[in-house]
């Protein structure tokens, strides 16, 4: 049992409601992407789950227990919250050794996680000489040290180079395949789309979505179809008559908004227009996310109103 259960969780800092009656479950065996605009309450939620802050009301448990009551916590939850927090005057190996001893974790795990995170050759260096990406890898090494069934990682790809990002993606997928509970916050939508199975989205502390990623994209984006036909002008005219907005594509095709492939295929067949290509265009996670969260953003730049700026219609 390694589920994270969040029940009616609220956290207020003075007059700010950082987390607002949040209820959700983070299930094992999949990667859950934890999304939301700046200040939405993601880090606060993670801190509450880890007992680093006390909720104003509500509960958060891991495997049915509040984190504070978990015995040898590093063996239960591996967390990466602030990769800068490690003591810079220690070497990477000493940092991990300190954590291992205080959680009765066998010393061999230190070498294993140093290998796993690509830090074996830097193990004897002081942490203050580490780059942001290396600190991030060390944070992951610490999270993996106790071989925990639950992992909570706040922006784990922060500072990683492209090779590091690919490595992180594969690591997250592997951890989920092994049956662990993996909660990962990120601002990088394209990145999240490559590793998450499920999404929990917050806006101003409230739950906006708790859904499989595929459903999320479908629910928060419009269907669109790209079609290329033998008689493009006639197809366009017919589609417009039928009430579909049609936009020219780069290579002589049309993009039809708010339509499914079978609808456009049926119209073309009825008119006897040969179809050369017919594809449903999937929206990206980023488009779906922006459609959901535009109104939930606490900190947004003022819109740019220069008359020379092309406006989307
Ligand atoms: N210790 C604190 N004291 C006062 N206010 C806080 C504290 N921690 C967080 N907040 C406030 O709570 C709200 C939620 O912040 P939080 O850091 O949890 O959001 P987030 O979703 O993690 O944001 P980001 O994506 O920017 O990391 C914000 O308005 C923030 O200013």
Q: What is the ipTM of this complex?
A: 0.97
Within-domain flag for 313: no
For the chain, first and last CA: distance in Å? 50
Element (H, E) at 232: helix 232-241
Q: Are 189 and 285 in contact (CB under 8 A)?
A: yes
Which residue has a Cα nearest atom 11 of ligand 1? 18
Ligand 1 in reach of 42 Cβ (< 6 A): yes
Q: Are 83 and 158 in contact (CB under 8 A)?
A: yes
Which of 160, 153, 208, 159 lies closest to 186 in space, CA to CA?
Answer: 153
- Ligand 1 centroid to residue 41 C-alpha, Å: 6
Within-domain flag for 296: no
Same domain, residue pair 116 and 203: yes
Ligand 1 in reach of 35 Cβ (< 6 A): no
d(CA 39, CA 296): 10
Within-domain flag for 232: yes
Same domain, residue pair 107 and 188: yes
Domain residue limits at 259: 220-285
Single residue among 199, 218, 237 that ends a domain in this structure: 218
Same domain, residue pair 170 and 232: no
Within-domain flag for 298: no
Atom of ligand 1 nearest to the CA of 19: 14
Q: How many domains does the chain fold into?
A: 2
Same domain, residue pair 55 and 132: yes
d(CA 7, CA 28): 17
Ligand 1 in reach of 11 Cβ (< 6 A): no
Each residue's pLDDT tens digit in the chain (313 positions)? 589 999 999 999 999 999 999 999 999 999 999 999 999 999 999 999 999 999 999 999 999 999 988 888 889 999 999 766 777 788 999 999 999 998 889 999 999 999 999 999 999 999 999 988 999 999 999 999 999 999 999 999 988 999 999 999 999 999 999 999 999 999 888 899 999 999 999 999 999 999 999 999 888 888 889 999 999 999 999 999 999 999 998 888 999 988 999 999 999 999 999 999 999 888 888 888 888 887 666 656 655 544 443 333 3
Within-domain flag for 225: yes
Q: Name the residue of 9, 13, 189 to mutate for ligand 1: max ligand atoms within 8 A of Cβ.
A: 13
- Ligand 1 centroid to residue 204 C-alpha, Å: 10
- Ligand 1 centroid to residue 33 C-alpha, Å: 18
Count the Cβ atoms, other than its own, within 10 Å of residue 58: 17
Ligand 1 in reach of 204 Cβ (< 6 A): no
Helix (H, G, I), strand (E, B) or coil at 118: coil
Atom of ligand 1 nearest to the CA of 53: 1
Residues with Cβ within 8 Å of residue 40, at least 6 apart in sequence: 202, 203, 204, 205, 296, 298
Single residue among 198, 218, 238 that ends a domain in this structure: 218
Within-domain flag for 307: no
Ligand 1 in reach of 82 Cβ (< 6 A): no
């Amino acid at each position: 049992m390694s589920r994270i259960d969040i029940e009616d969780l609220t956290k207020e800092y003075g007059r700010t409601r950082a987390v607002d009656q949040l209820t959700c479950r983070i299930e094992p065996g999949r990667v859950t992407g934890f999304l939301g605009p700046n200040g939405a309450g993601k880090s606060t939620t993670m801190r509450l789950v880890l007992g680093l802050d006390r909720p104003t009301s509500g509960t958060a448990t891991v495997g049915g227990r509040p984190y504070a009551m978990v015995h040898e916590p590093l063996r239960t939850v591996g967390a990466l919250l602030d990769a800068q927090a490690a003591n810079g005057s220690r070497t990477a190996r000493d940092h991990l050794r300190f954590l291992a001893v205080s959680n009765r974790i066998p010393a061999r795990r230190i070498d294993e996680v140093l290998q796993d995170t690509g830090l074996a050759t830097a193990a004897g260096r002081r942490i203050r000489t580490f780059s942001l990406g290396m600190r991030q890898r060390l944070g992951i090494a610490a999270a993996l040290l106790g071989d925990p069934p639950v992992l909570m990682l706040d922006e784990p790809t922060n500072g990683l180079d492209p090779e590091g990002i690919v490595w992180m993606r594969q690591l997250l997928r592997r951890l989920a395949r092994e049956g662990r509970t993996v909660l990962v916050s990120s601002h990088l939508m394209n990145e999240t789309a490559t590793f998450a199975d499920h999404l929990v989205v917050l806006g101003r502390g409230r739950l906006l979505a708790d859904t499989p990623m595929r459903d999320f994209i479908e629910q928060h984006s419009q269907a669109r179809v790209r079609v290329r036909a033998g008689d493009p002008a006639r197809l366009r005219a017919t589609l417009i008559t039928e009430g579909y907005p049609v936009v020219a594509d780069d290579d002589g095709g049309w993009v039809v908004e708010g339509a499914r492939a079978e609808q456009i295929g049926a119209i073309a067949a009825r008119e006897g227009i040969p179809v050369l290509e017919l594809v449903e265009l999937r929206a990206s996670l980023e488009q779906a996310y922006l459609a959901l969260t535009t109104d939930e953003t606490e900190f947004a730049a003022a819109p740019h109103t220069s008359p020379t700026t092309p406006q989307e219609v």
